[in-house]
Amino acid sequence: MKRYCLACVVLMACISSLAQEKDPMLLRIEARGDYGREYVDGETDREASGFKGKYLNVIFKGEFAEKFSYAYRQRLNKAAFSSSFFDATDWLYLDYRPIPGMTLSAGKQVVGIGGYEYDRVPIDLYFCSEYWNNIACYQWGVSVAYDFGADNPLRTAKRSDRLLFQVCQSPFSGARNPYTGASISDLYAYNLMWYGSHGVWSTIWSANMIEYGAGRFIGYLSLGNELRLGRQAWLQFDFMNRAGRGQRWFFDDFSVIGELNWMPCQQLRVYGKASYDKNTTTNGADFCVHGGTDMTRVGCGLELWSLKDEWHERVRLHANYSYSWGVNGNPNGALRDRGQWFNIGLTCRFDAINRKKAATE
């Protein structure tokens, strides 16, 4: 434990020393703690209930030289195994922008899979689909992105698009196959993504080929959509279809997630959410939603901020409730039949260092 803490301090010091005094740099600390109760068929799950610390993150972001920037997030409440300090690192990558609109990245990154539930940072999520609960979404890799955005002359006033291609370690690399018990470390994923903003409609779409065994791939088509319903409300709808060897491409293995949000004022968000995960296959290709799964989850919640400043300076209260039912092909899965879950908690975010903001004051 002492070696882990020392390595964390040294790594953060090295990263912060990269930034020039004249360049923007950010050191952000964020934490979340909850009190929760979970019931299965009316019986309290005492192991899952009570006061629990959920997240404690340290984030560094900054720029050095003319075209380089870096980003680093360490999850301090997650244990790192002795084999790798980076087990508890969500992301640590370097960006290089050779020309306007293009970004080359290398390091530990978010695996490029579409959908708004998947794309949101974990500290801002409370209850999720069975798929989300079982995907290892941070992996080492490289990517190239082209942005038809603010720095690109092809951008129009009501439209912006970002295309990204990524090659990275498979989320199933080194994982134990839930069907055979075997594990393989040398596995890869190939991801093509489109981030779009077109007036009231925004997208996070992806097509993915993810290796789950030597030379064996499961394909994803993940379509995340957001519709703005005026200034105060928006609807997010994700559809993810998964297909492996020996099955139909569509509707044998899929997840659907929908979330309706309403902000009557700047300090309050109210939402309702539903998810449906189904897998009728027997090919053993899906490690996240196991064969035989037919699970539904519905719920609602609210967030209340104490400040009107930017999000990273806020103290946030939250309360949430969800109910799930159906059959989960994974006996150790996150969602359970006739499961009820309630939580209430507090999130704090603040900037220990924010040179960019200080320069404008």
Cα gap 269→298, rounded to integer Å: 17
pLDDT of residue 342: 97
Q: What angle do CA 153, 162, 126 make, to 5 degrees?
A: 140
pLDDT of residue 279: 98
Query: Of 26, 31, 82, 85, which is closest to residue 59 (Cα–Cα)?
Result: 26
Cα gap 11→353, rounded to integer Å: 16
Gap between the terminal Cα atoms of the chain: 40
Cα gap 205→242, rounded to integer Å: 14
pLDDT of residue 356: 58
Domains of the chain with bracketed CATH: 2-360 (2.40.160.10)
Report the 10 Å Cβ neighbour count for 211.
Answer: 20
337 half-sphere exposure, CB direction, 13 A CA radius: 8
Instruction: Dump pLDDT digits (tens) for 269-281.
Output: 999 999 999 999 9
pLDDT of residue 198: 92
DSSP 209-243: EEEEETTEEEEEEEEEEEEE-SSSEEEEEEEEEEE
pLDDT of residue 196: 95
pLDDT of residue 306: 81
339 half-sphere exposure, CB direction, 13 A CA radius: 22
pTM: predicted TM-score of the whole model, two decimal places: 0.89
Handedness of CA 85, 347, 274, 299 (dihedral sign): positive
Residue type, 30: E
Instruction: Dump pLDDT digits (tens) for 46-83.
Output: 999 999 999 999 999 999 888 999 999 999 887 655 45
Per the DSSP assignment, residues forming a β-bridge with 7 are none
- CB 258 within 8 Å of CB 252: no
pLDDT of residue 292: 97
DSSP 63-77: EETTTEEEEEEEETT
Q: What is the mean pLDDT, run by run of 10 residues, along the chain of 361 residues?
A: 47 47 72 97 94 95 90 84 73 95 96 97 97 97 88 56 97 91 93 95 98 96 97 96 93 98 94 98 96 98 80 81 98 96 95 62 47
